[in-house]
């Protein structure tokens, strides 16, 4: 296979493979997405939105951020009233979701706004530039990593962060687990199976995952590390993770023999990870059971696991849609169609899940969780 895409980045990757006699797929993905100024997320290229490669919920309509703000305000009123509270977004991208949330809180929940410190953690310099402009009217602190945040009490949230983290690729053959490495033959790269590391085997053992023979799938150790760090940093409050993925029970079903790794390029998806290197997004589904398990190890308790459709409808999306339906003009109708994408099962409604965890909060009771989806394997953590 030949790597195609950004020449400079490809030469760096090939050089690294040569120097070290091979790199893991995870290291390749890290280069492709995050190599300073050349990786997909670190370079100056529109990624999210109409002129980019994919849409996120906040790009579709402000209502996503407005309803999250409503849920966060409820948390402030019930558990933090009149106290200083932090609201932290990890992987805040262009800052659009943060803008919608902060705008809504500032306009409709002034008491919450008065006590709020917003913190944005984002590692893409390109996205940071956009945020600085967009969020300049709000009280925002920017940090490079979560480690820099002090005395964290409040809410940590992310939208489509965990799916964008570099993953190890593994394969089960003759009952043994191997990791996929990339080596070089002349100018081409070759995938090679090497025995899986202890970290990967421990992950599978701890989570009691036994993947089917022949399956290739992803292991996201950065995700487990990150949720652990969030748990350690948070003294009291909630963690909201919105992303696509499943619990282990569903993720490793035999009909996902090739795993869930996908690339996004100009609003189309493909499985050609070695093409358009540095120019396309590479993502994988999140294992929510892993976030719950490793969160628990660092003090985060499981609150609930639902999908975006149930979560947003519980928070009042139906009323917003009804109003648009009643207006009946062209603009309202167009907006109504966009909002449907947020909740339709084939759109983002069932694909996107919402995991909520909490720490040092007694019997949490949140409006977004009032009605939950049917508890089949897609939802059983």
Ligand X SMILES: C[S@@+](CC[C@H](N)C(=O)[O-])C[C@H]1O[C@@H](n2cnc3c(N)ncnc32)[C@H](O)[C@@H]1O
Q: Closer CB to ligand X, residue 56 or residue 289? A: 56
Question: Rounded to whole angstroms, how far apart are CA atoms 296 and 136?
Answer: 36
Residue nearest to ligand X (CB): 93
Q: Give least dist CB 33 to ligand X, A.
A: 8
Q: Which of 161, 227, 321, 339 binds ligand X (CB under 6 A)?
A: 161
Contacts of 81 (CB under 8 A, 6+ apart): none
Which window, 115-123, 198-206, 300-308, 323-331, contacts ligand X (CB under 6 A)?
A: 115-123
Q: Is 220 in the site for ligand X (CB under 6 A)?
A: no
Query: HSE on the CB side for 129, CA within 13 Å?
Result: 8
Question: Rounded to whole angstroms, how far apart are CA atoms 73 and 367?
Answer: 11
Q: Closer CB to ligand X, residue 79 or residue 130? A: 130
Q: Is 41 in the site for ligand X (CB under 6 A)?
A: yes
Q: Give least dist CB 193 to ligand X, A.
A: 27
Contacts of 252 (CB under 8 A, 6+ apart): 209, 210, 211, 212, 215, 217
Q: Which of 17, 164, 170, 261 binds ligand X (CB under 6 A)?
A: 164
Q: Is 122 in the site for ligand X (CB under 6 A)?
A: yes
Q: Is 121 in the site for ligand X (CB under 6 A)?
A: yes
Q: Closer CB to ligand X, residue 54 or residue 80? A: 54
- Nearest by Cα to 309 from 223, 255, 244, 222: 244
Q: Which of 97, 292, 300, 312 binds ligand X (CB under 6 A)?
A: 97
Size, binding site for ligand X by CB under 6 A:
20
Contacts of 213 (CB under 8 A, 6+ apart): 172, 173, 174, 175
Q: Give least dist CB 94 to ligand X, A.
A: 6
CA-based Rg of the chain, rounded to a whole angstrom? Answer: 21
Contacts of 161 (CB under 8 A, 6+ apart): 90, 91, 241, 243
Contact residues for ligand X (CB under 6 A)?
A: 41, 48, 56, 58, 90-93, 96-97, 121-124, 127, 159-161, 164-165
């Amino acid at each position: 296979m030949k790597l195609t895409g950004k020449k400079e980045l490809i030469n760096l990757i090939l050089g690294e493979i040569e120097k070290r006699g091979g790199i893991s797929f995870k290291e390749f993905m890290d280069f492709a997405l995050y190599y300073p100024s050349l990786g997909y997320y670190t370079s100056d290229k529109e990624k999210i939105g109409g002129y980019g490669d994919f849409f996120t919920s906040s790009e579709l309509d402000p209502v996503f951020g407005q309803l999250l703000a409503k849920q966060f305000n409820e948390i402030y009123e019930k558990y933090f009233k009149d106290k200083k509270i932090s609201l932290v977004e990890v992987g805040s991208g262009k800052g659009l979701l943060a803008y919608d949330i902060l705008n809504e809180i500032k306009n409709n929940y002034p008491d919450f706004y008065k006590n709020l410190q917003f913190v944005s953690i984002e590692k893409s310099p390109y996205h940071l530039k956009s945020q600085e402009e967009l969020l300049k009217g709000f009280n925002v602190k920017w940090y490079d990593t979560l480690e820099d945040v002090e005395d964290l009490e409040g809410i940590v949230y992310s939208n489509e962060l965990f799916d964008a983290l570099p993953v190890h690729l593994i394969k089960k053959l003759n009952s043994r687990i191997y990791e996929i490495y990339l080596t070089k033959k002349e100018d081409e790269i070759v995938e090679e199976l090497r025995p899986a590391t202890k970290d990967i085997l421990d992950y599978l053992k701890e989570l009691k995952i036994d993947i089917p023979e022949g399956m290739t799938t992803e292991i996201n150790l950065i995700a487990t590390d990150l949720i652990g760090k969030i748990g350690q940093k948070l003294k009291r409050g909630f963690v909201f993770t919105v992303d696509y993925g499943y619990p282990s029970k569903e993720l490793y079903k035999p009909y996902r023999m090739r795993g869930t790794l996908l690339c996004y390029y100009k609003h189309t998806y493909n499985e050609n990870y070695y093409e358009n290197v540095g120019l396309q997004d590479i993502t994988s589904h999140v294992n929510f059971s892993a976030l719950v398990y490793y969160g628990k190890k660092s003090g985060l308790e499981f609150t609930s696991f639902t999908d975006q459709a149930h979560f947003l409808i519980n928070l009042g999306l139906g009323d917003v849609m009804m109003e648009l339906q009643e207006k009946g003009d062209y603009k309202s109708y167009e907006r109504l169609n966009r909002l449907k994408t947020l909740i339709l099962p084939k759109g983002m409604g069932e694909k996107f899940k919402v995991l909520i965890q909490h720490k040092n909060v007694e019997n949490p009771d949140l409006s977004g969780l009032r009605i939950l989806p049917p508890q089949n394997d897609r939802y059983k953590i």
